[in-house]
Structure 1
Amino acid sequence: MAVLIRNATQPVTGTSLTALLPPTTRLLGLGEPTHGVEVFPELRNELFRHLVEHEGYRSIAVESDCLAALVADAYVTDGTGTLDDAMSRGFSHGLGDSPANRELVRWLRAHNERRPPHERVRFYGFDGPVEMTGAASPRPALTALHDYLASHLDLAHSRETLDELLGPDEDWTNPAATTDPTRSVGRTPEAQELRLIADDLGVLLTAHAPHLTTAGSHDDWWRAGLRARAASGLLRYHAGMADTTPTRVGTLMCLRETMMADNLLALVDRESLRGPTLAYAHNRHLQKDRSRWLLPEGWGSLAGRTLEWWSAGSITAARLGDQYAFTATAFGTRGSDVPRPDSLEGLLSTLPDARTVVDPARLASALDREPAPRVPADHTYFPLDPATTDQIDAIIFVRDI
């Protein structure tokens, strides 16, 4: 069986990866199995350079705040600001501290400064403005959207009205609301009115698109749409934080995945005439099958409960079909965390190469039994599910990290 497994693999190169993808791919999801391990974003950088230089990719989207990413994109496309500023203000989740992310932004700037605007590679974040400790205030997105529309249209609501309804930002970002829904302002009468206003402004943005895109730039209109999605998404998320039912955590996960999917679909539409896009995030956000998570200790009364939700990748795949491809990454040994020999990662660890691209279809035909699920020592690592590899277009396996 070892020989048959080896026949399903190749050394990692950009060419060996793209050979497994549908030729219709417009969005390639490249997942990582855990956060904070530099080998995976370093691998992403290597593959993305190939995709840009040989496959016509013209954009990359990462699991980071979609609004903050506008700062990084301005730097890589137009040279606005500095590299340090792009890293400190252009990322969320602490991702600006990653050496691999810094190298990505540096390379993008160097690549773009030699090219005309229509050939420059864009940088996106596709996550909502949310963190594990809470969510941002909707003020920046909502007021920027209002100001953009007010410069072209007569609006029913003034900026002063918005400020009065929003109140102090500290009420929205109160970390206590993360665990105590009664501390959230997401379902106050003011928040409910703000949701209606955000919806109205989003409709106006679409209804007046012919005028707005000729009176200003199409890029300004697109960024206003990004802020409209962020404002509405944040207001829904804050309402979810105020939910007192047992389904609260699952609801918040669904809302975040929906924000991610909406942003991915919007940027694919924007990039449709320029080239495909690489999306980089955790495997769980990009996979095509239903996500499941057994909550570990530390989640109080929820510990031991299994949550299920549809990922951004599965939502996007439902819309794009074979224009969306998903590549999962996995690893074998990390310190004392060694996979069982009969697990999928254990079987792949017998391969001679340190890094391999695996064809899931050929791998399935090479196996004479279904591998045992891996139970990792570290709950931050989500192992491959042998039952769902048929929904993965390619697997990149790193034997040791």
Structure 2
Amino acid sequence: MQKMPKWADAVLIPLFSIIIAFFFSGIVIWAIGKDPVVAIQTMVKGAFGSTSGLGYTLYYTTNFIFTGLSFAVASHTKIFNIGGEGQAMVGGLGVALVCLAVPWPHWTLALPAAMVGGAAFGAAWAFIPAYLQAKRGSHIVITTIMFNFIAAAFLGYLLTKVLKKPGGMASETESFPVGAHLPTFHEMLAPFGINFNQHAPANISFLVALLCAFLFWLLIWRSRLGYEIRAYGNSETAAKYAGINPTKITVVAMLISGGLAGLMSINNVMGEAERLIDNAVEGAGFIGIAVALMGRNHPVGIVLAALLFGFLYQGGAELSMWEAIPRELVIVIQALVIMFTGALDNMVRRPLEKLFLIFGRKKEGS
């Protein structure tokens, strides 16, 4: 069967999948006695209708860009890294240790150091499953899942026994010094006369995430290492024949993947909470898998998919608040989007392929 054009695979399939997902979501909303049109209007207004809502949407989007890129790097090597959640947790520890270690005079010095700390800790947490996969044949899915739980338990211990704020009741560290506080969109846009909500958590990490997406593109499609990653992912046998070291590619890809997951912490730990708290990742590592799958492991697609899930998170919160629709229903909507863009991908793909085949034959016959 004739393959679809790349633009159709990248645009049409996700678009139709999202439309179908929202259609069934509307049925679910209607079934509980609510108006689907009012619900979607509330979500759009809550996510994009004010600088406050937009700030939260972009905050969630930033998290999902990092974790989506993290999964995509490993995915290009045909490695299913489900450990982004744990790698982001441990990356948060690295960011916190860097921010608390020095009385930083300004964020321009603290941010690069925190990025190194978060990426290094996230990469280190990914190294062990990578080594076990490359050298011992351990299944990467099993080991990364296990390491998520280990990371949660390890971080919980540190926040209650070692790093806990003296005299505090919550499982959290001391607040970072003022010099380690990142500028928010309110502070960044104020010099240009743009009034952005000062309480919205969106910060300069969003720009860092976009930069990482661009660097991801350079790495995967414009570098020798990226070529080796893609070659190994497409055919391990051919890659070995070409002299590509499987152990090296597996470990390096996982180190980059873990580093990107760890970088997420500059947004939620350094930018929003300004301290390390328990369960700071809030499932972003798992959402990153759906983001990467929906974005076809391409940085542009990942950014757009991350924005969609940022909209679902913030719009869902508004929906729960103003329309008395349970928060769990938003999770159902997210699940439907994931299901139709991932598990039921062929349900949309095959009819479109047949349509392109029919039109292709008509074009040839004319």
TM-score, normalised relative to structure 1:
0.27
Q: Which structure has more helix as a fraction of its residues?
A: 2
Q: In proportion to residue count, which structure has more strand?
A: 1
Instruction: Specify which structure has the bigger relative contact order, considering alpha-carbon pairs within 8 angstroms and separated by 6 or more residues.
Output: 2
Q: Taking structure 2 as the reference length, what is the TM-score of the superposition?
A: 0.29
